[in-house]
Amino acid sequence: MNKVPEALRKELAALAARAESDIDFSDMPETQAQDWVGASRGKFYRPLKQQLTVRIDADVVEWLKGQGKGYQSRLNMILRSAMLKTAQHR
């Protein structure tokens, strides 16, 4: 696993702690709604994967595999959706 060097971690923490009023934005124009048309979030984000051994009912695995290639990614997407839905209701 890649660790963020301590010096960079401190620099990022110091930047995060600064108030917006202390930041000079004069060299960058404010964005407008049309600037974001067609934009996507997280396009290059790739979460770290962890290999596990789990027991899943055979009919569930058969259903996942029956959907075509990528059943593990599909399972992860279903679990993530459930996780986010649960987190919203807390």
At 80, list the tokens: 């993530």
- pLDDT at position 2: 65
- pLDDT at position 1: 53
> Could you report the per-residue pLDDT of 42-65, keeping only the tens digit for each?
888 888 899 999 999 999 999 999
Domain membership flag for residue 61 = yes
SS3 assignment for 12-61: HHHHHHCCHHHCCCCCCCCCCHHHHCCCCCCCCCCCCCCCCCCCCCHHHH
- pLDDT at position 87: 86
Domain membership flag for residue 23 = no
DSSP 85: H
Domain extent, residue 90, equals 49-90
Residues (pLDDT < 70) of the chain are 1-2
Q: What's the CA gap between 24 and 3, in Å, rounded?
A: 30
- pLDDT at position 37: 94
Domain membership flag for residue 26 = no
**CA 78 to chain centroid:** 15
- pLDDT at position 67: 94
Domain membership flag for residue 88 = yes
